[in-house]
A and B are shown apart, each in its own frame.
Chain A
């Protein structure tokens, strides 16, 4: 009997590990109570304002940057909508925001990120409109800022460039997943154990897909940056990425 249950549980986990499709970490439309929708939107405001002023300053100095920024946004959208190679055969996607933060800086990514999330909701039906605030915080603010911080810290500590890109992208992805779990847990605390127990449940149920995904995100971001450094140094310089490497 016991073994039977174990088998069932294993099968259950496998179903999720294999069948989990795209974008498992976008909180869907209608999933958060209104209070939390507003709370997370308000939390995002200072970051978005900072992003807005940083973009406005960039544009004042250089009008040409508008098409570059727009292309950066479209690039993040396309990268995050691509099916990525995976070992298990399930199909999953990058967040792409770690890469964006490393290349374009976290402030610009916060604004580009919220625009990308709006388009993901109305063009791809991923995420939602009322959950936009929560998703923006986890994907366009928390993840990118952590990635950027780690990347900067590693380059100060003279860690190998590729290693720091890998760690930054992976940590950003993991952080997004932790923040989302926490957001869900705060809205739906357990009857026994409260927010903590609930967060543990969400972390556990999404772990089989999100942990390998974070590592793959790290690998792919590193491969992209490596290829860029090999083939596209002038472009990297034009967006201000390669300066500190020289």
Chain B
């Protein structure tokens, strides 16, 4: 079971986070507001402040181990580096820009402005990601779905989200045992065998999921399901300190924007 990565860890950390008793809507609104501020402000200093604040909040208040937390930043790194390089660097047939190297007939060039923009974008994305991680690592996905109900999403969508969230874990476990079974029978020797095994597992996973879907519906009906799953929701009122923290943080950001 220690092979489970990503999915189980983020949700597991969220469930045991020190911030799990904070109102979910509050956390969603806070992190979304912070993300939008980072993107709209588009200044390195704001991005760094948010990165620092969100990391401290997640690690100190949420009690997520630093090493684990840092590990999550590896996930978007490839996209971040590749796209930022694509933005900062250009290709042309003649000499242009402030720096260039020649590669046969073409020049790869960059400009001071391009590099500065690249760095701005890099930190902006990191700042926004830190705020998204703050939400993901402090709020179990089930609670996010509850909170979305409060934002007036259609009932069918909420229902589907609730079910999909639960079924994901069921299918993940099913898939993991299929994979173990295939691995113990040398199912991943070489590329061709791997493809065949992947396909077989995909197909059996679909069959199993459709069978389970039927069984789950019968089970729901047997318990009086009428188109709405009702869960016990804990009430988590927002307290004064949290409202003050919210206002204080945005005042700080406004002050920094005004000063710079």
Contact = CB atoms under 8 A, between A and B. Distances in A.
Contacts of A70: 160, 163-164, 167, 213
User: Residue among A121, A123, A190, A226 with the most chain B CB within 10 A?
Assistant: A123
B58 to A, nearest CB: 12
Interface string B208-247: 0111111011001000000100000000000000000000
B206 interface: yes
Contacts of B85: 205
Interface string A1-41: 01001100100000010011111111111111110010000
A5 B198 contact: no
A29, A72, A197: most-surrounded residue (chain B CB, <10 A):
A29
Interface string B148-175: 0000001011011101110110111001
Contacts of A63: 217, 227
A77 interface: yes
B49 interface: no
A32 B124 CA distance: 10
Contacts of A33: 39, 42
B127 A30 contact: yes
Nearest to A227: B203
A124 interface: yes
A6 B103 contact: yes
Interface in A41-98: 52, 55-56, 59, 63-64, 66-75, 77-79, 81-82, 84-87
Nearest to A123: B7
Nearest to A68: B213
B129 A59 contact: no
A200 to B, nearest CB: 8
Contact of A205 (B86, B154, B159): B86
Nearest to A70: B163
B114 interface: yes
A185 B154 CA distance: 34
Interface residues of A, number: 92
B57 interface: no
A186 interface: no
B4 to A, nearest CB: 11
B177 interface: no
Interface stretch (A137-145, A148-156, A171-179, A216-224): A216-224
Chain B interface category by residue count: 35 or more
B205 interface: yes
Nearest to B202: A224
From DSSP, what is the main secondary structure of chain A's interface residues? helix
Given A71-B212, A123-B141, A124-B6, A66 B203 contact: no
Given A71-B210, A201-B86, A224-B203, A31 B125 contact: yes
B180 interface: no
Interface string A107-125: 0000110011011011111
A99 B85 CA distance: 32
Given A77-B168, A191-B111, A226 B154 contact: no
B27 to A, nearest CB: 11
Contact of A30 (B124, B204, B214): B124
A2 B102 contact: yes
A169 to B, nearest CB: 12
A4 to B, nearest CB: 10
A19 B78 contact: yes
17 contacts: A20-B78, A21-B75, A24-B82, A28-B129, A30-B129, A64-B217, A68-B213, A70-B213, A73-B163, A115-B164, A197-B91, A201-B87, A205-B83, A223-B198, A223-B202, A226-B203, A228-B206
Given A67-B220, A119-B168, 12 more contacts: A20-B78, A70-B164, A74-B170, A74-B209, A103-B206, A124-B7, A125-B76, A191-B90, A191-B111, A228-B207, A232-B206, A232-B210
